[in-house]
Structure 1
Amino acid sequence: MDDPVIELRGATKRFRGATGGVHTAVRDLTLSVGRGEFVAVVGPTGCGKSTTLSLVSGLEPPSEGEVLVTGRPVRGIPDGIGYMFQNDAVLPWRSVLDNVAAGPRYRGSSRAAAREKARGWVGRVGLAGFEKYYPHQLSGGMRKRVALAQTLVNEPSILLMDEPFSALDVQTRALMQDELLRLWSGTGAAVVFVTHDLEEAVALADRVVVMTASPATVKASFDIPLPRPRDVEELRLTPEFLDRYREVWDSLREEVAKSRERSAQRVA
């Protein structure tokens, strides 16, 4: 891969436990993501997928190894990072428009310029007419659209997404997946998308990375050469999708089984 925008080189992250012990979340993690590439990361529950995003974002430093963004070691939060969490960061006391305008305002735009830019993104995520609504007046799917606009309004070159659609019902989730692909297309942004849903990973990504049971490292990486643009619901019915799904699941299934065995042993 020429000039990857994200590189983890033998990255290890340890945390001090509540009882004084040390927990290794990820170990010897080596991963590269190219400019404009959509990479989905899957693995057993609690294996360290979210920690990987924290290392890339600069929210956590590695205990060992290196993390580089655009060729530079990460020392704090790099420029151009957009982070969409599992729980949205929509502020309840702000309207839809002012939630989306907050990022540009923080970056120095005037109130008028920030609101104008935000208005455009509110429309692009399908919420035109809801600019004056407050979060408590919105459905879960609408709040996710606000969160997506909040992230994309800053035009990130790297988009980190930590199970952003996991709390949504099946139909709304599919709509948001299509919406994400539509808005991401042509931006050139690299995406690292953490999910427990293998169908979601295969439907969205150019490449699916399978992590081992904790402590996480990369077990395997699978290219997903399905054509774009993609309609998520239609894609899932194709033989090509099912072939890719089975291939990745054969690798992931072993790690899920290991994780369950370890959990059962701890309980016993």
Structure 2
Amino acid sequence: MTDTPAIEFRDVSLRFISADGNATVALRNFSMSVARGEFVAIVGPTGCGKSTTLNMVTGLLRPTVGEVKVMGQPVRGIDPRIGFVFQADAVFPWRSVVENVAAGPMFRGKSKKEAHELANDWIQRVGLGKFGGHYPHQLSGGMRKRVALAQTFINSPEILLMDEPFSALDMQTRTLMQDELLKLWSGTGGSVVFVTHDLEEAIALADRVFVLSARPGMLKRVYDIDLPRPRVTSQVRYEPQFIELSKHIWEDLRQEAVLA
């Protein structure tokens, strides 16, 4: 790790102006620092600006007030060092799994042969070795999420942004995907910002959990998750410390959900 944060928000506020001239403040005086190699989760009630923070890191949105920095530099646009995993599947339905995973490296200048070799390696890593020739419609939801992880990690992102990537999955598949994510992330040294509505998911995955208030989103509290790594998410939930953290964070979230 270096002293320069991977991501830094400094007193950021974001205001939207609608077509009829009304102003909506999505974030207010928000500050956050994410260290190199750190896994951070953001939780809060619906509409508090969780996904907005990710869009400002990518440069898709710019703060009305304050500053967002990536690797010590102000965000000026799309940064190739950043990977993004969405809630919806970001796959080409007319392409096979291997072609979907190889698309990123080819776009970045690698030959088709190199890209397909890399893609086959990552398909093996995410447990889809027998499905490289399949198409998205032939895969389950969990398998498509594995494709999404391979699509992202194949580009060696230094920062990984995840916007409720597992929310549409059943509990069993979600738990398996959480463990898969931790396994892949642990070998990269990258930083992760993970947005979720699931409090237990946030605690099981993250080094720190940022709790946002009801809109306008402000930083209410930061919790250090001092649970040992490596973690198995299906097991760590039964640790006394996990249960105690859940109680405290839920009380914060409950108050904000009522206000929202």
Equivalent position of 1:96 in the other structure: 97
Please report the RMSD computed on the Cα atoms of aligned residues, expressed in angstroms. 1.0
Q: Normalising by the residue count of structure 1, what TM-score does the alignment of the two structures yield?
A: 0.95
Shift of 1:18: 4.2
Equivalent position of 1:263 in the other structure: none
Q: Structure 2 counterpart of 1:55, which letter?
A: M
Alignment of 1:17-36 (within 5 A): 17-36=18-37
Question: CA separation in 2, counterparts of 1:85 and 1:16?
Answer: 25
Write out per-residue CA displacement over residues 62-87 of structure 1, whole angstroms, 9 at most, x where no aligned residue. Answer: 11110000000000012310000111
Shift of 1:2: 2.8
| Corresponding residue SS for 2:209 | strand
Greater CA deviation, 230-239 or 65-74? 230-239
**Structure 2, unaligned stretches of length 5 or more?**
none
| Corresponding residue SS for 1:129 | helix
Greater CA deviation, 52-61 or 13-22? 13-22
Equivalent position of 2:240 in the other structure: 239
Greater CA deviation, 40-49 or 242-251? 242-251
Equivalent position of 1:117 in the other structure: 118
Question: CA separation in 1, counterparts of 2:14 and 2:153?
Answer: 29
Write out per-residue CA displacement over residues 164-189 of structure 1, whole angstroms, 9 at most, x where no aligned residue. Answer: 00000010000000000011003111
**Structure 1, unaligned stretches of length 5 or more?**
260-268
Q: Structure 2 counterpart of 1:236, which letter?
A: R
The runs of 4+ residues in structure 1 deviating greater than 6 Å are none
Equivalent position of 2:149 in the other structure: 148
Q: Structure 1 vs Structure 2: percent identity of aligned residues?
A: 61
Question: CA separation in 2, counterparts of 1:232 and 1:209?
Answer: 19
Equivalent position of 1:4 in the other structure: 5
Equivalent position of 1:255 in the other structure: 256
Alignment of 1:49-68 (within 5 A): 49-68=50-69
Shift of 1:238: 1.6
Q: Normalising by the residue count of structure 2, what TM-score does the alignment of the two structures yield?
A: 0.97
Question: CA separation in 1, counterparts of 2:51 and 2:234?
Answer: 26
Q: Structure 2 counterpart of 1:28, which letter?
A: N
Question: CA separation in 1, counterparts of 2:10 and 2:78?
Answer: 18
Question: CA separation in 1, counterparts of 2:96 and 2:231?
Answer: 32
Q: Structure 2 counterpart of 1:78, which letter?
A: D
Equivalent position of 2:220 in the other structure: 219
